[in-house]
Amino acid sequence: MLRAVLLVIAGLCIAAGVLVGLLGGGHHGLPALLFGLALLLGIVFERWRYRTASRPDARWQKTSERFTDPHTGQLVEVYYDPQSGERLYVDTDGKTYPPPDP
């Protein structure tokens, strides 16, 4: 729902910026156009970055750590890559999360 609302806002800003430019407003429509494009790119990047991934492959070791994600209510399991030291957070639906900020 929020994604759809933000896409509408981005589209309206882009349209407003283009319309002002076409109606002779010169560069006055540029801020709305740039804001709309930045919002649109942010939404596309977010969808790409946090896409659903498959379960970890053989290099990942499952740890005993588990917790409930406060935002989704899903049980999250923690996996560890001993070669890189990277940690991977996977919920029961298979969605992979980036590591939390320190």
Indicate the pTM of the whole model: 0.50
Structure tokens belonging to residue 34: 């740039």
C-beta separation of 95 from 56 below 8 A:
no
Q: Which residue has the tokens 């899903």?
A: 74
Domain extents in the chain: 2-49, 61-97
What is the distance, to the nearest Å, from the Cα of residue 96 to the centroid of all Cα atoms in its chain? 12
Collapsing DSSP to helix, strand or coil, 76 comes out as: strand
The neighbour count for residue 87, using CB atoms within 10 Å, is 15
Residues 60-83 have pLDDT tens digits of 888 999 988 887 788 888 888 888
* Statement: residue 6 has pLDDT above 70: yes
Average pLDDT over residues 76-91: 86
pLDDT of residue 37: 95
pLDDT of residue 72: 76
C-beta separation of 10 from 40 below 8 A:
yes
pLDDT of residue 55: 60
* Statement: residue 53 has pLDDT above 60: no
